[in-house]
Structure 1
Amino acid sequence: MMIHADKCIELGLPVPESYHNQLSYVLCVITQGIKLNTRLARYIGIHNLHSLASTLKYKGYKFKVEHGRVPCPFTGKIPSHPVDILSMSYEQIKAYKNERSRQEN
């Protein structure tokens, strides 16, 4: 499934690189301190954010999953149904970057 770069730019999200798959792109976004929710993910072409979150957890990544009402980028309205909101705290981002730099050395 393709991630739509034009829609990422429109939402102020990082531009997906050629090597990004959906899983690595979600990780890229949340490690930059950006909250990614189900509605934003669907708008940019990621239709299974909950499954990707499960995979990231299984792989040992530490992040938060909250549930809340968020605006829909398609309509601009806030639907009544809460969705998943993925994010990383400052400490989680720091730990991720430290671990990544250890793996590169």
Structure 2
Amino acid sequence: MGVSVGGAGARELASSPAQKRAAAKAVGDHIESGTRRAGAWADDETEAAVKALGARDGDGWQTSAALRTAHETWGDQVRNLMDRLGAEKDSLSSANTVLTGTDLAVGAQLRQLSPLDRY
């Protein structure tokens, strides 16, 4: 059973182990792979543009150098996004184990010998 986040158009958070596994699988199978493909396409296209605008007879367009710099910055941002997606996928995958372990540990601490156990 999901937890409603409220408001108009509210969505439910993945809260069951199956929902968390499905969300982690979606991140791994679709979002990460799609981001990788888009990044590779952008790399190829940007390299072609940098080369086309680059120096031929000693002079090149300033656009070539600016594109190269922007592409390096963009590449850093994509790497950060991929790292974040990987961390989110790992968190979703391990959330049930962590939460179950926490529940069991708290339950064990709370369920110590009670005076009522003697009756």
What interval of TM-score do these two structures reach, taking the shorter chain for normalisation? under 0.3
**TM-score after normalising by structure 1:** 0.24
**TM-score after normalising by structure 2:** 0.22
Structure with bigger helix share is 2
Larger gyration radius, structure 1 or structure 2: 2
